[in-house]
Structure 1
Amino acid sequence: MVNAYRIGSNPVAKPANSNHNRRLAVDMTIINFENKEVKDSDGNLKKIKVFNDLVSVGRMYGVIWLGAKDKPHWSFNGR
């Protein structure tokens, strides 16, 4: 399972002290997003050319990417 889902190598918060525990964060690796279109929070179609385009649309929905430190981590406050 570790290899199939690429888990086990990410930094983690102390137990019960994580946005995951509060249902305010999710870890997901997003692939094959290039050249797809998604609706932004204003209802406009946005072409996703690079990963930062996806990050920008996520922010419009209140979902913030933590960054390269923990690549699959998305949350309401980026932590």
Structure 2
Amino acid sequence: LTGIAYPVIFFSTWNTAYRKPHNFFGLMLLAQAGLMGVFTSMDALLFYFFWELALIPVYFLCSGWGGEKRIQVTFKFFIYT
């Protein structure tokens, strides 16, 4: 499902990532790689590694391309995860 959803997300956000699109799509690809590793890991250590790998780009995506309350959302994301 992740492999199907991410290309749809890329095509739907192609015109909306107007601020630094290379950074946006790079962070999205890193998040996808982390999620694919989470869902395919067979070891708890690899699961933890890929989970943390997936959280880091999501944090930067929220802080860079979030809405008008992106600072509050990023802070809550950091506290809850």
TM-score for the superposition, normalised by structure 1: 0.33
Q: Which structure carries more helix by proportion? A: 2
